[in-house]
Structure 1
Amino acid sequence: MNNTESASYRAGEAKGQAQEKGNQLIDKASNAAQSAKESIQNAGCQAQAKAQGAVDAVKDAVNKN
């Protein structure tokens, strides 16, 4: 293998490694986004449940009087 072929091989190898690293970073970002989405949805459900509880408490208080 001459110097030109060797340099070309190393460049191709570096390109492949960079692409793989990029794919890994994209996967990590996607996983983080999915986790954030699930956390937000969970928080929204909890807030909705608390609000419903407050509404029910007010209804109960009004009905008692």
Structure 2
Amino acid sequence: MSNAQQSFSAGQTQGQTQAQAENFVQSTKESASAAADKANAAANSTGQTAEQNKDEAAGFLQQTGEQVKNMAQGAVDSVKQTLGMEK
């Protein structure tokens, strides 16, 4: 094989290797970007779920507080009635 053919073959191999490396780098960047997008979406979803759970817990506690207050008021009224202190 002549020097020209060897140089051509070496250049061709180098070009193919470089193209494959660039494709690999681009593919890796795209995969990393997709993974970051998925992680971001998961974080947002988790935050929204946590906020919703917090709101539901607050509503439950408020409702329970109202029930306890009403039960206490009923007990007070019952004692007043028993003792003849009602209006």
Superposed displacement of residue 29, structure 1: 1.2
Deviation per residue, 1:27-65 (Å, 9 max, x gap)? 11111111111111100000000000000111111117x
| Aligned twin of 2:16 | none
Correspondence 1:15 to 2:27: no
| Aligned twin of 1:45 | 66
| Aligned twin of 1:57 | 78
Taking the aligned partners of 1:63 and 1:21, their CA distance within structure 2 comes to: 62
Amino acid across the alignment from 1:18: A
CA RMSD, 1 decimal: 1.4
Superposed displacement of residue 16, structure 1: 0.5
Give the percent of matched residue pairs that are identical in Structure 1 and Structure 2. Answer: 30
Scaled by the length of structure 2, the TM-score of the pair is 0.68
Q: 4+ runs of 1 displaced by more than 3 Å?
A: none
Superposed displacement of residue 6, structure 1: 1.2
1:29-44 alignment to 2 at 5 Å?
29-44=50-65
Scaled by the length of structure 1, the TM-score of the pair is 0.89
